[in-house]
Chains A and B, each alone.
Chain A
Amino acid sequence: MKKRKKVLAVLLTGCVMAGLLAGCMEQGTSGGSSKSNKEAVEIPEDPWDPYEETVTISTVLPENAGIQFAEGDSYDDNPWYRAYKEWFNIEVVNDWVSNDYDTKLNLTIADKSIPDVFCVDAQQLRQLKEADMIYDLTDIFDEYASDLLKGYMEQESDTFETGHLDGKLYGIPQLSYGIIDQPNQIWIRKDWKENLKLEDPQTMDDVIAIAKAFQENYGGYGLTENQDLDCFKMLAVAWGAHPDIWVETADGSLGYGSVQPEMKEALEAYTQWYKDGIVDPEFTTKDLEKMLEGEISEQTGVSPYYQYWGYDPGPSVVQNLGTDAIFEPYKIPSANGEEVLANVTFANYGYIVVSKDCKNPEAVLKLLNFYAHVMDEGDQEDTEFINELFGNAYTNIPYALRVINPDTDYNQFIKVTDTLAVSLDEDPATLGKDGVKYSNCVDFIKEGASTGVGDYLQQGGPKSAYRISKEIIDNEEYIRDAMWGPQTETLLSAGSTLDDILIEGFTKIIVGEESIDYFDTLVADWESAGGAKATEEINETYGNN
């Protein structure tokens, strides 16, 4: 009996050990999967020449539901990757494609199995640098970046600076499509406004009059809102308040826009609207999606919203209520007679970093040059080639291999609207990569296609979001976030907690649970929960003195 037990114990121990070992070994092999290209390959002299020997670059990217793969194409084999191979003899391979990029990337970093090139946020950039896992790109950028790419960085030198740590370039900022996409508008339902013969709103009182007229004639409520107070925060600029960004206060120091006295004024007016039944009485239980449902179910016809109303909920509105039921954008008018300045925040999609283990980091720069080239100088290339790269939302594939021209949207808007003004029958191919936007607008104008309503209301229409925003940018009617760069330490760790406190407090005031004087208590609470410390840090990092 005793012997048998011993045998059993040995057996079981063996099983457990084997299991553990198998686990360890698996981990050992998975780490080095893509690192087949260990030797550096000789670099050709001309920057646009292909390598003699194939260079393999590994990367990772998030799944993107918008991508409509043509037959035979996939994340691993697509026009972009084929072009890389053809132009430079660079083979790009995906270590993984995930629908939960951030979590997966954090795990990849923790596991130390990072790919050659990938895209990170400011916090991860710092962490990777501290762990000494990424390449110092300072020299390589100087040597290999094209003039076009360097031009973007000169234009956005503040953003470029945020990619530097200890004076060295560790992350190349991806920049953004431009600040033209930042100002918000008031969106008003077209057919209701026309039926009631209402004028375009010039003041905030006009907006409220329109909301009331809609309520009287069509029922429901006047203004949309949700539990995060997005609409209120968008409207607050009308009172000179600048929620969610850092601004210069009366005494010259920097302060958080959401806790300044102007915010109290905005809040007071908004509370009155809620009391009068103009603001959605059930906003506290609605998230953004639920709020948009109210527009599709004809509960309301006025909504302070982002520039992309035409993309969401635009198509649903057109499909359910017809083309005349679209909401059109209007500039947010002043509530107190003073100039309205839109909020503009630091915009950078992410930082491109290169692993220390990458043997040919200059290859990454070549691919970045390629993206800038086809993006801005695409007219020098074959139209079909360009259409292949830019159709089907394929621009999301080179996720970590692109730096975006910060004037992209601005220039696109001019090109699309100028062409529309000439004729509706131009050949979209002549517009290069912007041809798709143009033809979508034409589709909406001619046949009311719901697929075109987004581009029409963002750019092509006589009342379009970018038309308003371009004016705001040309006339400099905006205020830049004083925090023009990454968040400071307290904000990184407690930022959302601090904002939570304010949203909760503002909501209490709006629904009448607390009087407007509670605002001062709220600001004190915010300061003691970390707001005061955050303000101090911001002044240290971004202040003048």
Chain B
Amino acid sequence: MKKLKRQWQYHLMLLPGVILIFIFAYIPLYGVIIAFEDYNPALGFSSPWVGLKNFEYIFSQPAFLRTIWNTFFIAVAKLIGGIVVPVIFALLLNELVSNRLKRIFQTLIYIPNFLSWVIMAGVLIDILSNTGVINQFLGIFGVGPVNFLGNASIFPWTMIVTDIWKGFGFGTVVYLAALTSIDPGLYESAILDGATRWQQIRYITLPLLMPTIILMLVLALGNVLNAGFDQIYNLYSPIVYQTGDIIDTYVYRLGIEQAQYSVGAAIGLFKSAVSAVLVLTSYILADKCAGYKIF
């Protein structure tokens, strides 16, 4: 209570955000009852109650389980790649002596981040086609043509690599910022002790970068069941449903294209439940393994 007295200004500033979240995120929670009804828009929330029928239906669909696996696989791979690649790039850029060059690279790799997937998909379809730049390049070495978007065993990797490529500029900038905050004195004393470049990275840079990495990881974990709807929706096709169809694209085809609100809501609810468990687990893990806490 005493604390509250001292910090009431902060709480006041917090209030509008809390109210907004309450209105737009908590009150609409009531809508999840759609998942247990045979929803008829004309009847609204008083549509006939069907209990778990919608859930029985989605679990009876052979395509449903594979979408969960695909979502999980693609999302986790993107998560890992989305941390490893920017960290490596940040370290490399940090070693550049020319500040000008550093800025130029930083800007160049950040640009794709600003393009929407709708535009990006159009570009990628051309680049990755059988007669596209990449396949022409591979052709020089007698490889291919590789059907990056039309081969079910390659498609998920295409998604992972292109997504990392598009997004790693942002991560790199964050890690570069974290790197500049490391006390140069540490490196100086390490050099005096005869540490090599590699040893400096291994024993100074990485440990000090760890809190940022874990923060980024925990923030990303909330999205572990979002494998990237706008990317995949714009690039996939029936031939790659086997490995490329994710929960969100499945919900879209099932729920929105056919206006089956109840089934869509049921899958959405299921996804939220699984996400909640995953986020909780990762939070506990982050606390246990790295001593990191948000709250």
Contacts and interface: CB of A to CB of B under 8 A. Distances in A.
B242 to A, nearest CB: 7
Interface in B253-281: 253-254, 257-260, 263
Contact of B12 (A8, A107, A529): A8
Interface stretch (B173-181, B233-241, B284-292): B233-241
Contact of A284 (B42, B239, B260): B239
B130 A282 contact: yes
Contact of B129 (A285, A496, A504): A285
A282 B259 contact: no
A227 interface: yes
B238 A227 contact: yes
A493 B63 CA distance: 15
Interface in B41-88: 41-44, 57, 60-63
Interface string B142-164: 00000101101000000000000
Interface string A312-343: 00000000000000000000000000000000
A131 B48 CA distance: 11
B5 interface: yes
A525 interface: yes
Interface in A113-146: 123-124, 127-128, 130-131, 133
A332 B36 CA distance: 48
A398 interface: no
B105 interface: no
Contact of B43 (A12, A130, A525): A130
A112 B46 CA distance: 13
A106 B259 contact: yes
Interface residues of B, number: 35
Contacts of A110: 41-42, 44
Contacts of A112: 42, 44
A253 to B, nearest CB: 24
Contact of B238 (A127, A282, A504): A504
Contact of A16 (B19, B44, B60, B129): B19
Size class of the A contact interface (CB-based, 8 Å): 35 or more
Interface in B114-165: 125, 129-130, 147, 149-150, 152
B150 A497 contact: no
Interface in A217-232: 227-228
A127 B37 CA distance: 14
A513 B151 CA distance: 10
A69 to B, nearest CB: 29
Nearest to A528: B62
B237 A497 contact: no
Contacts of A290: 125
B3 to A, nearest CB: 14
A130 B40 contact: yes
Given A109-B42, A127-B42, A285-B129, A495 B239 contact: no
A507 B254 CA distance: 20
A213 interface: no
Contact of B41 (A106, A285, A529): A106
A1 interface: yes
A508 interface: yes
Given A493-B258, A493-B263, A513-B152, A507 B238 contact: yes
Contacts of A494: 57
B15 interface: yes
A3 interface: no
Given A106-B259, A508-B239, A131 B152 contact: no
A123 B260 CA distance: 11
Contacts of B203: none
B26 interface: no
A503 B242 CA distance: 12
Given A281-B130, A285-B125, 5 more contacts: A1-B5, A102-B259, A284-B147, A493-B263, A501-B63
10 closest A-B pairs by CB: A131-B42, A284-B150, A227-B237, A110-B41, A284-B239, A504-B238, A285-B149, A127-B42, A503-B238, A507-B239
